[in-house]
Amino acid sequence: MVATPRAGAPSGRRAASPGRRSWTGWRFVGPFMAVFALVFLAPIAYSIYLSLFRTQLIGGTTFVGADNYVKALGDPQFWSAFGRVALFLVVQVPIMLFLALLVALAIDSGRLYGASFFRISVFLPYAVPAVVAALMWGFMYGTRFGLIGNLNDALGVSLPDPLSSDLILASIGNIVTWEFVGYNMLILYSALRVVNPSLYEAAEMDGAGQLRIVWAIKLPALRGALLIATIFSIIGSFQLFNEPAILRDLAPNAITTYFTPNYYAYSLSFRGQQFNYSATVAIVMGVITMVIAYVVQLRGMRKGA
Amino acid sequence: MTTTRRHALLLGAALSVSLFATACGSSGGTGSGTAAATQSASADDLQAALDAGGSITVWAWEPTLKQVVADFQTKYPKVKVNLVNAGTGNDQYTALQNAVKAGSGLPDVAQIEYYALPQFALGKAVTDLTAFGADKLDGTFTPGPWNSVHSGGGIYGLPMDSGPMALFYNKDVFDKHKIEVPKTWEEYIAAAKKLHEADPKAYITNDVGDAGFTTSMIWQAGGKPYKVDGTKVGIDFGDAGTQKFTAAWQQLVSGKLVAPVASWSDAWYKGLGDGTIATLVIGAWMPANLETGVKAGAGKWRVAPMPQWESGGKATSENGGSSLAIPEGAADKKLAYAFLKYANVDEGVQARVDGGAFPATTAQLNAPEFTDKKFPYFGDQQVNQVLAESAGQVVSGWSYLPYQVYANSVFNDTVGKAYISGTTLQDGLKAWQDASVKYGQEQGFTMQ
């Protein structure tokens, strides 16, 4: 009752002087907008600006319009890099999310002995910096000095070389899965925690078993969280960089300079000084990632409705 | 026979020096009339800079520089030198190019290998040292390295070391399996087979595809795949010299007779110490690296002349070797040049030689205390005699691309395939050639 006149007052003032605008709101969002423009919009704008030029060792910088984009769209090295991360995406992401789902359901079931220890140990790899993780796995993968080498020596066998060109992508998938199962588990587990326990009680009273509860209650409740985890994983896959960059020292012939789109962009600018073309590749890849993530989100939401 | 070859080499060297002199002459500024005045002025300037003091940052991975920095700071207590290892070779160039592009975080002095210097010079990323008096240093350095720091009439670095190639071998391993030290590449391949049969864990050498090694090997075999004339560039890996190399080396790669271990990796150092990598055909700067990096190999290693393509031949090539250069954006160039001169021309050279480095200065190379020095690490062998001899036998006429850093960075994309699949080295080199030509065209060079 008290609120009514107060709420009415500003609207009355606004009606009285329609020419004046209140800047109070802008003052609140101003700091955010400034930082957002500086660290988010400015780099994108600069990359787009860069991508419109060409700098040569002989001849200097010239404006070339969309030439770099035409070149990128017809660049076999770029598309082979894209194909590789796409393959990585369709194989590694489902495996990782399925494992994360299993772990989340297991912890949430309440039937696990030492659940909190289990939860923290599954999550722990995520706390290891990606570079350290790649180095660590690189040492384990070594057939001459690492874990594989020791196993070969101790057991007298000859395991396949995880750093060979046939297996390197799978080996990287293994590292990424190890790193991110815990992270995705946490997203899914927290979604499970907000399910009202009375639903489970009601289901049990109706005679539903655990599997039925999972199928009918938990999985539908997880749909939103799974969608988020999927979108994060798509973006992560397309941005694959650390692992190939670190492992390249150990497998220089298996990991090319255009192994993933990000690594290709890196090689272009820092090995070949082709900053303009590198910016173009980064923008093209960014747009592709956005489109795919958006399509997945749209489909996910339609199903959810 | 030998003397005529040497004479021919000297003649060639003299010719190329005079060609450079002509090039310098056309751009002006090297007239002898003004020389004395400029030199004294700049020497005073350098002394003033040293007296005033300050702080400079040096990016280098050469191990013997540490001592030079310590000595330098003792002599000039007001100067503080930060010696930073920003990575070896390509890693450091990446960092340097980033710093140049960003215009900040630049070192005042950077170690740059001879093959990479033309690219930095062309991109105006390093300073022309002519203005500091570098043009007065003719005759100070051996012709090969001295030519390598010249580019388009300017002098873009001072030679720090040189890398005439030799065969470094683990004598213990050779004795154990009763293998003769190979004098020709044919014998080398035979030794590789014999060693690997006797001990399946041991390899004659390591190789996973190394651009520097491959180009040096082609150089020794008489190949001249790169033809560079200003901005006109020709690339052809189909010549006889290249094919001589690929035919021989293909046998080692196909036969899995080379250890699949990357040079400078942990596994590599380990292999050099435990005898599983038995030889290295590498530049004369290697002794210092072995002494500091492979302690387990002390007393086991020896140095022999580089294996030859023809029995009784005397041809070698350069492998690596670096200069010290001053980035264009360096804060204190006078002080930086004073350090360069100290490290590569004056007292610093002797300190580095004492530490096991292989100099590029004629005075040190010809000094008896250098050639007669006994190396305990190499079983008291007078290593420098072998290496200095190799320095005089380098095949002339080789040149690198003006964008060799980039070319080397895609070596493993192309030639690397020969090490992991059925592709041959010759096909790999063709693919490397195509990639290099494409880049050259994109960068505005006239490709021939």
pLDDT tens digits, B130-180: 989 888 898 899 877 888 898 878 899 999 988 999 999 999 999 999 999
Same domain, B107 and B186: no
Taking an 8 Å cut-off on Cβ atoms, the answer to whether B123 and A144 are in contact is no
Taking an 8 Å cut-off on Cβ atoms, the answer to whether A250 and B262 are in contact is yes
Best residue in B91, B210, B420 to probe A by mutation, most A CBs within 10 Å?
B420
Of B113-117, B118-122, B170-174, B224-228, the one with minimum mean pLDDT is B118-122
Nearest-by-CA chain A residue for B407: A272
Query: Is residue A61 within 8 angstroms of chain B, CB to CB?
Result: no
Domain containing residue B328: CATH number: 3.40.190.10
Domain boundary among B301, B336, B366: B366
Best residue in A58, A75, A263, A275 to probe B by mutation, most B CBs within 10 Å?
A58
Of A97-106, A197-206, A226-235, B31-40, the one with minimum mean pLDDT is B31-40
Backbone phi, psi, residue A259, to 5°: -70, -45
Query: Is residue A271 within 8 angstroms of chain B, CB to CB?
Result: yes
A149 to chain B: which residues are within 8 Å by CB?
A: none
Mind listing the pLDDT tens digit for each residue in B41-100? 368 888 888 888 899 999 999 888 999 999 999 999 999 999 999 888 878 988 898 888
Residue B91 lies in a domain: yes
Same domain, B132 and B227: no
Asked whether residue B13 carries a pLDDT value surpassing 50, the answer given is no
Same domain, B290 and B390: yes
Q: Which of residues 229-268 of A touch B (CB under 8 A)?
A: 249-250, 252-254, 256-258, 267
Question: The domain containing residue B327 runs over which residues?
Answer: 2-161+320-366
Query: Is residue A145 within 8 angstroms of chain B, CB to CB?
Result: yes
The tokens describing B106, both together, are 């630049």
Residue B374 lies in a domain: no
Spatial CB neighbours of B441, under 8 Å, sequence gap ≥ 6: B447
Taking an 8 Å cut-off on Cβ atoms, the answer to whether B443 and A58 are in contact is yes
The tokens describing A11, both together, are 């609207």
Taking an 8 Å cut-off on Cβ atoms, the answer to whether A258 and B445 are in contact is no
Which of A57, A58, A144 is facing B261, going by the closest CB pair?
A144
Nearest-by-CA chain B residue for A77: B413
- For A265, B236, B405, B440, the CA distances from B434, given in Å and listed in that order, are 20, 9, 16, 10
Q: What is the pLDDT of residue B147?
A: 83
Bigger pLDDT: B278 vs A303: B278
B209 to chain A: which residues are within 8 Å by CB?
A: 252-253
B229 to chain A: which residues are within 8 Å by CB?
A: none
Identity of residue B198 = A
Q: Residue A221's CB: how many other CB atoms inside 10 A?
A: 16
B412 to chain A: which residues are within 8 Å by CB?
A: 252-253, 256-257
Residue B372 lies in a domain: no
Chain mean pLDDT for chain A = 87
Residue B346 lies in a domain: yes
Of A3-17, A210-224, B341-355, the one with minimum mean pLDDT is A3-17
Asked whether residue B359 carries a pLDDT value surpassing 70, the answer given is yes
Q: What is the pLDDT of residue A202?
A: 92
B403 to chain A: which residues are within 8 Å by CB?
A: 57
Can you count the helices (H) and strands (E) in chain A?
15, 2
B265 to chain A: which residues are within 8 Å by CB?
A: 249-250
CA dihedral B314, B309, B412, B226 (to 10 degrees): 60
Same domain, B191 and B154: no
Q: What is the pLDDT of residue A18?
A: 55
Q: What is the pLDDT of residue A17?
A: 54
Say how far residue B60 (Cα) sits from the centre of its chain.
Answer: 14
Same domain, B79 and B131: yes
Q: Percentage of chain B surpassing pLDDT 90?
A: 59
**Which of B103, B440, B162, B129 lies closest to B321 in space, CA to CA?**
B162
Same domain, B212 and B114: no
Alpha-carbon distance of B387 to A55, in angstroms, equals 43
Of A33-42, A57-66, B25-34, B333-342, the one with minimum mean pLDDT is B25-34
- Supply the DSSP string of B202-257, one letter for each residue: -BSEE-S--HHHHHHHHHHTT---EEEETTEEEE-TTSHHHHHHHHHHHHHHHTT-
Strands of B165-170's sheet, edge to edge? B279-283, B165-170, B301-304
The minimum CA-CA distance between B325 and chain A, rounded to whole Å, is: 19
Q: Which of residues 253-292 of B touch A (CB under 8 A)?
A: 260-262, 265-267, 270
Mind listing the pLDDT tens digit for each residue in A66-85? 899 999 999 999 999 999 99
Inter-residue contact A239 to A90 (CB < 8 Å) = no
Q: Tell me how many domains chain B contains.
A: 2
The minimum CA-CA distance between A251 and chain B, rounded to whole Å, is: 8
The minimum CA-CA distance between A233 and chain B, rounded to whole Å, is: 28
Best residue in A53, A57, A167 to probe B by mutation, most B CBs within 10 Å?
A57
Taking an 8 Å cut-off on Cβ atoms, the answer to whether A142 and B412 are in contact is no
Query: Is residue B123 within 8 angstroms of chain A, CB to CB?
Result: yes
Taking an 8 Å cut-off on Cβ atoms, the answer to whether A272 and B421 are in contact is no
> What is the rounded average pLDDT of the residues B198-220?
95
Same domain, B125 and B187: no
Map residue A252 onto helix, strand or coil: coil
Best residue in A253, A274, A275, A278 to probe B by mutation, most B CBs within 10 Å?
A253
Q: How confident is the model at residue A260 (pLDDT cuts 50, 70, 90)?
A: very high
Taking an 8 Å cut-off on Cβ atoms, the answer to whether A57 and B123 are in contact is yes
Same domain, B135 and B242: no
Same domain, B325 and B301: no
Same domain, B386 and B358: no
- For A154, A295, B331, B443, the CA distances from B437, given in Å and listed in that order, are 48, 41, 36, 10
Same domain, B13 and B114: yes
Which of A249, A257, A274 is facing B413, going by the closest CB pair?
A257
Q: What is the pLDDT of residue B421?
A: 87
Which of A57, A249, A270 is facing B97, going by the closest CB pair?
A270
Same domain, B65 and B137: yes
- Fold of domain A69-304: MetI-like fold (1.10.3720)
> What is the rounded average pLDDT of the residues A270-290?
91
- Supply the DSSP string of B413-434, one letter for each residue: HHTTHHHHSS--HHHHHHHHHH
A246 to chain B: which residues are within 8 Å by CB?
A: none
Chain mean pLDDT for chain B = 87
Asked whether residue A3 carries a pLDDT value surpassing 80, the answer given is no
Residue B97 lies in a domain: yes
